[in-house]
Structure 1
Amino acid sequence: MKLVVGLAGASGSIYAARFLRALSEIPGDTYFTVSPASLRIFSEEYETKVSNAEDVLDFIQQRWKPETKHKFHIRDFFDIGSDIASGSNSWDAMVVVPCSMKTVASINAGFTENLIERAADVSLKERRRLIVVPRETPYNRIHLRNMLSLDEAGGIIVPASPGFYQMPKSLDDLGDFIAGRIFNLLGVESELFPKWDPKK
């Protein structure tokens, strides 16, 4: 599995962290890029200090100590000449988690001023799976129209709205629910949350 993963500037760092933790234990390659806003929010929400993508990965490794089988290749958020800015390179899918409404709007409008937006644009034009995880509430009509238009263009919207039938015991359980739903959409089996069983 070869992915592009971007962290855009929205609250919900737990969703990114738990997805990356689980992804670390799956063989494959990921091109990883983070926005400055996402670094600020990650630092605030985890009460730590991360200054770049490497710091985010180091934090995840130190906090949860996953058995790392995955290779992460850091790409500069501002480098719109990066390899993942071109459709001549290939990847299986792209995930933006969490995804700001500004990023949703930019992708929807085809306005690509940074690497996350450009790689997302490439994913759509090359008919590759694009999964975005918006974390905003409430939605206004602009948000809803942008998400609907992005869905019509081939994107998949995964609202950061975890289910509670799993009887979560911690915030990490809520993060794992969304991470598990992302893996489902990537066609990857995971045990991040118990499947719904109506017989229980």
Structure 2
Amino acid sequence: MNEDKPLRLVLAMAGASGSIYAARFLKALMEIPGETWFVPSPAAIRVFKEEYEANVQTGEDVLEFVRKKWDPKQNHKFHLRKFEDIGADIASGSNIWDGMVVLPCSMKTVAAIRTGITENLIERAADVTLKERRKLILVPRETPYNRIHLENMLALHDAGAIIAPASPGFYQMPQSLEDLGDFMATRIFRLLGRELDLYPRWSPEKD
């Protein structure tokens, strides 16, 4: 992917724990050129509200929370889409996006995408992303995994999705929860072909 080309992304939030990962990814995303179709589920809004103790009711509230909390540069355009709108523009492969990220991704969402059951816009957009051979990145935040979870993720891997569990490293010596969120954001951006150094790269050499 050409890094100079504005990024066209579908970003979904499913109802798993791990709002910090979505929040820090959004913060970084706001600072790069491009546009994103943003689809948070009702469960994701509820989890975000509880984990941040924030008064958020909608996807726009989530975006505004991130803007106010970290004041990132505003170089990115966001299109809000309703979770239940199965007929939205991103439900069709005739529209073009570079990739889709589900962050965090619940095991229910993993199961629905694996089986091709598309009862909401997140599941439908993910299904379209796979069938059009575009990059689909799923970021589960669950532990431990049972056999059903593992088999579903393996099937999605074999279908072309990238499974990127929210498993931040610690070699960068994180000092805050934001550092852990930035680690995962950087890894996701690299999977999308974008280099954002939000944490120090590993090096065995010490200055």
TM-score (norm 2): 0.96
Counterpart in 2 of 1:150?
156
Letter of the 1:28 partner, please give it: G
Counterpart in 2 of 1:127?
133
Structure 1 position 188 matched with structure 2 position 194: yes
Counterpart in 1 of 2:173?
167
Aligned counterparts of 2:196 and 2:52: Cα–Cα separation in 1: 25
Counterpart in 1 of 2:75?
69
- SS of 1:72's equivalent in the other structure is strand
The aligned length equals 200
Letter of the 2:34 partner, please give it: G
* CA RMSD across the alignment: 0.5
Which of 78, 82, 88 matches 1:82? 88
Counterpart in 2 of 1:11?
17
Aligned counterparts of 1:109 and 1:191: Cα–Cα separation in 2: 36
Aligned structure 1 segments of 4 or more residues deviating by more than 4 angstroms = none
Aligned counterparts of 2:75 and 2:101: Cα–Cα separation in 1: 19
- SS of 1:6's equivalent in the other structure is strand
Aligned counterparts of 1:89 and 1:34: Cα–Cα separation in 2: 20
Counterpart in 1 of 2:3?
none
Flag structure 1 segments of 5+ consecutive residues without an equivalent: none
Counterpart in 1 of 2:8?
2
Aligned counterparts of 1:62 and 1:189: Cα–Cα separation in 2: 25
Aligned counterparts of 1:108 and 1:13: Cα–Cα separation in 2: 23
Offset of residue 57 of structure 1: 0.2
Flag structure 2 segments of 5+ consecutive residues without an equivalent: 1-6
Offset of residue 191 of structure 1: 1.4
Counterpart in 2 of 1:37?
43
- SS of 2:156's equivalent in the other structure is helix
Offset of residue 74 of structure 1: 0.4
Aligned counterparts of 1:35 and 1:75: Cα–Cα separation in 2: 10
Offset of residue 80 of structure 1: 0.4
- SS of 2:90's equivalent in the other structure is helix
Q: Between the two proteins, what is the percent identity of the paired residues?
A: 69
